[in-house]
Structure 1
Amino acid sequence: MANRVLFIGQVWPEPASSAAGYRILQLMRAFAIHSYEVHFATAAEPTQRSADLHQEGVVTHRIALNSSTFQDFVKVLDLRVVVYDRYYTEEQFSWRVREVSTSIIHILDTEDLHFLRTDRDETSDPEKVAEVRNRELASIYRSDLSLIISSFEQRYLTEFLQISGDLLAYLPFWQENYQAESNQFDNTADFYFIGNLSHKPNTAAVHKLARIWPDIKLRLPQAELFVYGNYVPQALLKYHSPEQGFHLAGAFDKPLDMLRAHRILLAPLSFGAGLKGKIYEAMLYGIPFVSTSIGVEGFELTEPNEVTADDDTDFVLKAVALYSDADLWTPTSLNLQSDFEMQFGTSRYIDNFFKQLSQVITNVELHRRRNPVGDILRQQAFTAAKYLSKYIEQKNKQI
């Protein structure tokens, strides 16, 4: 069997729009470096912001939902590994892959723990939280390996939920051959926020920025705030007010290192999960930020109190202090880059993952016998998604 991996995505990767898009592209490149022939399949249409996967050497495919043509497609590919980009992608397609071959390795890229994000959203219905939790945990148990991007989430799964570490691979973002470039306080100005603005935690963060910005502006009359991002919800458009220094600036289409022209990232995230791409980028470029305990979760910061505030008043005061004081801003910038190098400026996590994957491939039967819960959840009585899909497929044939 050839070393061939298939990534199945809910959408086409948009690395410039979201951390999830950056993540899946980084994984594809890693598999290619490790001598895998990389394929990507989705039922979605590409957008103008979709990554050019052909340029990356990735073979792309359009697939249909709820169709047995997918099994025919998998048979032709003769796969070694399948990677699902979300738990509900695994629900839709993993049983079809198993119908073709039981030797294919199933990997779930959790991106972040959706049930944690849902639970932390105060608007979530408790029944919805329980449903997402049960479905996502079932997906983790069914998969041979699940990629966990946050050290907090790795500990939560292994220590609190008692999931075997054999089923999990801690794999954060990484930056090989990282070399920090120092920033100069006097070469920077203004605040910024960046992210997919339709993503609920980001939408809520912009609402909060609009609420606290007048207090910051009162103390720093010359400062401006630039909110960058695609897919702007209608509810946010009312905040665009250049005369008040609050700019909905659209997508940041320049090279990301040009973010360092801004002095401070403001990221008042009240809920969410995983590693926040905006925090990762700020640390990469040595841009001081003010965020929340949720925002910095999973980042191993040596001085978290300098950049963390969960109270609005504290948030404003820290933002103003960092913006105004070069003697505070400069060491914060240097500390963040040092923390980045220690946690992400290494290939050890991706190297460990491929060693773990090799062990699973070599001993897949033993690996699965050690996971009886997964075996139970793969049985017919627990595969509601399978039979719903078969029902839809039959209905479609009658139309």
Structure 2
Amino acid sequence: MPPAASKLLVIGYVWPEPRSSAAGGHMLQLLECFLEQGWQVTFSSPATEGEHKADLGALGIREQPIELNNSSFDSFVRELNPDVVLFDRFMMEEQFGWRVEKHCPQALRVLETSDLQSLRDARQQALKERLATGDVDDFADLFALSQQQLFQRMAGTDSAQREIAAIYRSDLSLMISDAEIDLLCQHFQLPAALLLHCPLLLDSTPRQVPEFAQRAHFISIGNFRHAPNWDAVLWLKNSIWPLIRQHLPKAQLHIYGAYTPPKASALHNAAQGFHIMNWAEDALQVMAAARVCLAPLRFGAGIKGKIADAMLCGTPNVTTPIGEEGMRGDLPWAGSVANNASEIALAAVRLHEDQAHWQQAQAKGWTLLAARYERKSFATALLARIAECRANLAEHRLNNFTGAMLRHHQHKSTQYMAQWIEAKNRRNWG
């Protein structure tokens, strides 16, 4: 008989929506890596299904709804007996990590961080402090915060302590940004052996896309439920777009995003060329039709799926240092990076009007994709690292005493809290 396939269990914070967010797209890329190697994949989540959920069953992935604070998960995971459990974001490790360890102690526990949420939170707080001063257009000093300054802002926060504790408790954490790996290793003193750089996994082969003259308009895209995206839309509306229209009175900006709230729809103004377009069924199609992508992110973390999509479509972009962080290494940028509204506007106008400049930016995007996001090389490294950890699991865990200590204390408290909630729910519903 052929050997049994290795089994992967994913515990998702949400059901993946690859056409709604970069996090959903990255999760699907990870799942495909395992499927291509013949793994049996089960995806579970306590979340309700979103309207743009991927059809996992069509990919051969078993779907399993689960509940928080419910011992039914124990029998499910014990029966499945996975070889690897992938927690989608640290909240899922907090909720289910102790149950996995108790019932499947030999399963490799892997954390998909998506981005470093505590870093995003710290930057959001810094932005709120700046906006309270009344200076709403120039953020050079915020964008230039050093890793030491970010560490000082993060270290005492609840979100950083929870998130980094989850990384320690896991056998391996997937980091989408190498800048965040540097921050964790250099300032939070995490062992490098616990982290793996796993960016977006893309086919970097240049595709056939419309030429400069065949394109029109500016585009901005991003899930409206993601706070940095909504903040970027507000900055566009209030500061950046009026400056662009001064130079290009007939310019149009098309803003796409899943889960458009009424407050976003209210910003639609055709007379100003400011169009809220709601969800794009095919994000790459609308991106390839645009001439310039605007991504004026004032805070955030991780790497930006919208910018990767822009490069895939040969669409130059204008962003901030937050947008380009962790994306290019030492390579030239596929467009422009600016610190304030006027610089962003001028860079956007030049890309929109100067064909030679536009073509140079497009070529830089192709180069950057091939160097930094080639799917095959990162997929191979991911599966090799997982195999290595599984083969040396006892030694790997022995070298992570801090993680063992945190599991002992935090998981006990989490376990007792979960059992108390379950008993309380049983009384209320019994």
> Structure 1 residue 130: deviation in Å?
0.6
Contact 2:45–2:66 under 8 Å retained in 1: yes
> Structure 1 residue 385: deviation in Å?
2.7
Alpha-carbon separation, structure 1, partners of 2:282 and 2:203? 22
Distance 1:381 1:241, change over 3 A: closer
TM-score, normalised relative to structure 1: 0.96
1:130 and 2:157 equivalent? yes
Equivalent in 196, 202, 218 of residue 223 of structure 2: 196
Equivalent in 196, 201, 204 of residue 174 of structure 1: 201
Matched residue, 2:319: 291
> Structure 1 residue 386: deviation in Å?
2.5
Equivalent in 374, 379, 382 of residue 345 of structure 1: 374
Distance 1:375 1:152, change over 3 A: same
Alpha-carbon separation, structure 2, partners of 1:182 and 1:130? 45
Contact 1:2–1:79 under 8 Å retained in 2: no
Alpha-carbon separation, structure 1, partners of 2:386 and 2:35? 15
> Structure 1 residue 307: deviation in Å?
0.9
Equivalent in 396, 399, 408 of residue 370 of structure 1: 399
% identity of equivalent residues: 36
> Structure 1 residue 390: deviation in Å?
1.5
| Counterpart AA for 2:29 | Q
Alpha-carbon separation, structure 2, partners of 1:283 and 1:363? 39
Matched residue, 1:270: 298
1:309 and 2:331 equivalent? no
Contact 1:146–1:169 under 8 Å retained in 2: yes
Alpha-carbon separation, structure 1, partners of 2:32 and 2:411? 34
Contact 1:376–1:382 under 8 Å retained in 2: no
> Structure 1 residue 143: deviation in Å?
0.2
Matched residue, 2:360: 331
Matched residue, 2:58: 55
1:112 and 2:141 equivalent? no
1:396 and 2:425 equivalent? yes
2:109 alignment partner, SS class: strand
The 4+ residue runs of structure 1 with deviation greater than 3 A are 123-129, 179-183, 380-384
| Counterpart AA for 2:192 | G
Contact 1:147–1:168 under 8 Å retained in 2: yes
> Structure 1 residue 244: deviation in Å?
1.0
Alpha-carbon separation, structure 2, partners of 1:346 and 1:6? 22
> Structure 1 residue 305: deviation in Å?
9.1
Alpha-carbon separation, structure 1, partners of 2:155 and 2:385? 34
Q: How many residues align?
A: 399
Comparing 302-311 and 138-147, the one that deviates more: 302-311
| Counterpart AA for 1:396 | N
Matched residue, 2:24: 21
> Structure 1 residue 284: deviation in Å?
1.2
> Structure 1 residue 2: deviation in Å?
4.7
Matched residue, 2:7: 4
**Mind listing any 5+ residue stretches in structure 1 that lack a counterpart?**
none
| Counterpart AA for 1:215 | L
Contact 2:255–2:278 under 8 Å retained in 1: yes
Alpha-carbon separation, structure 2, partners of 1:162 and 1:143? 16
> Structure 1 residue 129: deviation in Å?
6.8
Alpha-carbon separation, structure 1, partners of 2:420 and 2:30? 34
Distance 1:127 1:393, change over 3 A: farther
Matched residue, 1:83: 86
Alpha-carbon separation, structure 2, partners of 1:306 and 1:84? 35
- What RMSD in Å do the two structures reach over aligned CA positions? 1.9
| Counterpart AA for 2:294 | L
2:186 alignment partner, SS class: helix
1:144 and 2:171 equivalent? yes
Matched residue, 1:213: 241
2:422 alignment partner, SS class: helix
Contact 2:11–2:87 under 8 Å retained in 1: yes
Comparing 155-164 and 281-290, the one that deviates more: 155-164
